[in-house]
Amino acid sequence: MKYICVYCGSRPGNDAVYVEAARCLAASMVRRNLGLVYGGASIGVMGAVADEVLRLGGSAVGVIPESLMTQEVAHSGLTELLVTSGMHERKTLMADRADGFVALPGGLGTLEEIFEILTWAQLRFHAKPCGLLNVNGYFDHLIAFLDHAVDQQFVSPAHRDYLRVGETPDSLLDELALG
């Protein structure tokens, strides 16, 4: 079974559309027999994607640092919950277990995680596909900024293209050639 690492908010956002999109992504993944790797929390968009994968009979693997177990309310019903000693180990394990990466709307943690994995692609530490699910235009300004960074020649067009963007889960997973 292939796994997708999903980075997303520990909060639900201010519109039900975000949690709904997380459920739609979960359903597309289960239909394609793709397992979930994520940060292991039961709250926010993170909890919604895991709950839906599990409800549909899919596989959901959480990876959480011991110090965040209570703060982020670790999910108690996962297929597998891996507890790490720190954040770096968590991120490395998530990346190692995944065959591709998708970011849903989220906050600073989500942004840091997807950009870190993009920089690892840029450095050729991995060659796994990376994408943004642009729910409700949430990432429009970020995408425009990346194009500005290319325009100003701080990011090469080839590296910019490592980040694929989809408006729906199925179009994004097709674009990433996953499932």
Chain residues that interact with ligand AMP, rule: CB under 6 A: 9-11, 39, 41, 68, 72, 87, 106-110, 112-113
The side-by-side arrangement of strands in the sheet containing 60-65 is 80-84, 60-65, 34-38, 2-7, 100-103, 130-133, 163-166
Do 156 and 12 touch, CB atoms closer than 8 A? no
| Shortest spacing between CB 50 and ligand AMP, in angstroms | 12
Complex with ligand AMP: residue 91 or 128, whichever CB lies closer: 91
Closer residue to ligand AMP (CB): 62 or 100: 62
What's the min distance (Å) between Cβ of 106 and ligand AMP?
A: 3
Smallest CA-to-CA distance from 22 within 10, 2, 8, 5 is with 8
Cβ distance to ligand AMP smaller for residue 125 or 157: 125
Q: Is residue 87 a contact partner of residue 65, using CB atoms and an 8 Å limit? A: yes
Q: Closest separation between CB of residue 116 and ligand AMP, Å? A: 7
CB of 22 to ligand AMP, least distance (A): 12
For residue 151, the minimal CB distance to ligand AMP (Å) is 27
CA 46 to chain centre: 9
Pairing of strands 34-38, 130-133: unpaired
Q: Which is nearer to ligand AMP, 20 or 174 (CB)?
A: 20
Give the CB-nearest residue to ligand AMP. 109
| φ and ψ of 137, to 5 deg | 70, 15
Half-sphere exposure of 15 (CA within 13 A, CB side): 9
**Which is nearer to ligand AMP, 92 or 171 (by Cβ)?**
92
